[in-house]
Structure 1
């Protein structure tokens, strides 16, 4: 039995997310950690936290506070259009001392909860940084809550994880993705990699338009959910239809 679903909307031309350019992020704040003896600082940011489908993804970009030069054009990924992010992603990768993106799936989000899933994705990225032979002295995390460090009390995540996770000091900063170049760089690589995963999932479920909405709660996405129901890539523990029965 087939179910009618809305037509996928045509993809809009790439354009900046805002008509006003924000002030470019710098390494000024990161360099204040040199006074604390830090040399390698890891900028960390997440993408996909508010989506209804797909993974939550955590990017890490490590900078050398002694020698790092600025990288032109980098902004918080939300302020860049897709073409700009795609252009900058390989530049950020080569500019960084080390970089990585970790993911936690929709099923892991449903099982663990979003905070533990963020920590799981961050731990996977952190492990890749260490495997590259770089040990950051300090972490700069966007936001006001340190979800990256292992929880003090054991949770399902901590009991099943095989890696102890980030053991470096974590400094949180609201709007770090707007002001701090390392964190903006992390947001770019996380966004590009997660978007690529959503395009791959779009091939499997094209009716949801994930190549356009990337799994976020657009009206179109919810219309298809009403008609067709969730896929294995939806976070079924979430209120997918916004309070509707």
Structure 2
């Protein structure tokens, strides 16, 4: 049985497959959930977590699925219906900018992940989490996390570096989360057009930074972060690899 917090190997190909999922299924984890997050490094809007469930009956993923950062916006949007038909179940959960300000980004990631899991009609035997840190499992020593749980306790977790490049379920989860969050940011840009969210999706693009300096933040900005016009040091997080306008 894989540990709840284990580091997987780095994939050698950018084309994901079900090889990792099949190996875990042979170990007894029949129903697997690939999970990935989008929006961790943004300055505005939610952090979003996608989850895609597969079992032994699921065949190879639809052709063209990749980590969302390696796909164009048009390709991501076109493949979403096929991914939803392919998966046993899928969902996307969100945590708002206000919740990020209140509880911090890592706790907000868990909140969004729990919301995604609660939206499923199946309980996975194991979650494959992209990266080397299990942000989904609640630390027992932190009482705050007990209040964040929505639905049943989270399933066991195994982590894998670059799982979004190796595992079809995780790559599909990243696409669903990216498309849903981008759609939200484009809609929110209608209400706050000065920030250019339709193009930058809330990340620290130069147009977004210029607008923050000129207008200050709105209610959808992460005000606990160091942003121009918030009274901090006008510093921002390092650019996130998700910062793709396509």
**TM-score bracket for the superposition, by shorter chain length:** 0.7 to 0.9
Further displaced range: 93-102 or 144-153 = 144-153
CA distance, structure 1, for counterparts of residue 150 and residue 17 of structure 2: 35
Offset of residue 74 of structure 1:
0.1
Match for residue 159 of structure 1 among 134, 144, 147: 147
Contact 1:127 1:165 in 2 (8 A): no
* 1:196 counterpart = 2:186: no
Contact 1:61 1:186 in 2 (8 A): yes
Match for residue 102 of structure 2 among 106, 111, 122: 111
In the superposition, the TM-score normalised over structure 2's length comes to 0.85
Match for residue 244 of structure 1 among 213, 216, 234: 234
Partner residue of 1:58?
A: 49
Contact 1:141 1:170 in 2 (8 A): yes
Inter-CA distance 158–173: structure 2 relative to 1 (3 Å threshold):
same
Partner residue of 2:219?
A: 232
Contact 1:38 1:65 in 2 (8 A): no
Partner residue of 2:243?
A: none
Inter-CA distance 141–78: structure 2 relative to 1 (3 Å threshold):
same
Contact 1:25 1:181 in 2 (8 A): yes
- Give secondary structure in 2 for the equivalent of 1:235: coil
Contact 1:150 1:165 in 2 (8 A): no
* 1:120 counterpart = 2:98: no
Offset of residue 179 of structure 1:
1.1
Match for residue 182 of structure 1 among 165, 169, 180: 169
Match for residue 156 of structure 2 among 164, 169, 186: 169
CA distance, structure 2, for counterparts of residue 103 and residue 237 of structure 1: 18
Inter-CA distance 152–81: structure 2 relative to 1 (3 Å threshold):
same
In the superposition, the TM-score normalised over structure 1's length comes to 0.86
Runs of 4+, deviation exceeding 6 Å: none
Contact 2:118 2:150 in 1 (8 A): no
- Give secondary structure in 2 for the equivalent of 1:65: coil
* 1:90 counterpart = 2:78: no
| 1:111-137 deviations in Å (ceiling 9; x for gaps) | 0000000000000000011xx2x1211
Is there any run of 5+ residues in structure 2 with no aligned partner, and where?
1-12, 236-246
| 1:174-220 deviations in Å (ceiling 9; x for gaps) | 00001111000000000000001101110100111101000001111
Aligned-residue CA RMSD in angstroms? 1.6
Aligned length: 220
Offset of residue 66 of structure 1:
4.5
Match for residue 196 of structure 2 among 209, 215, 224: 209
Inter-CA distance 202–219: structure 2 relative to 1 (3 Å threshold):
same
Offset of residue 160 of structure 1:
5.0
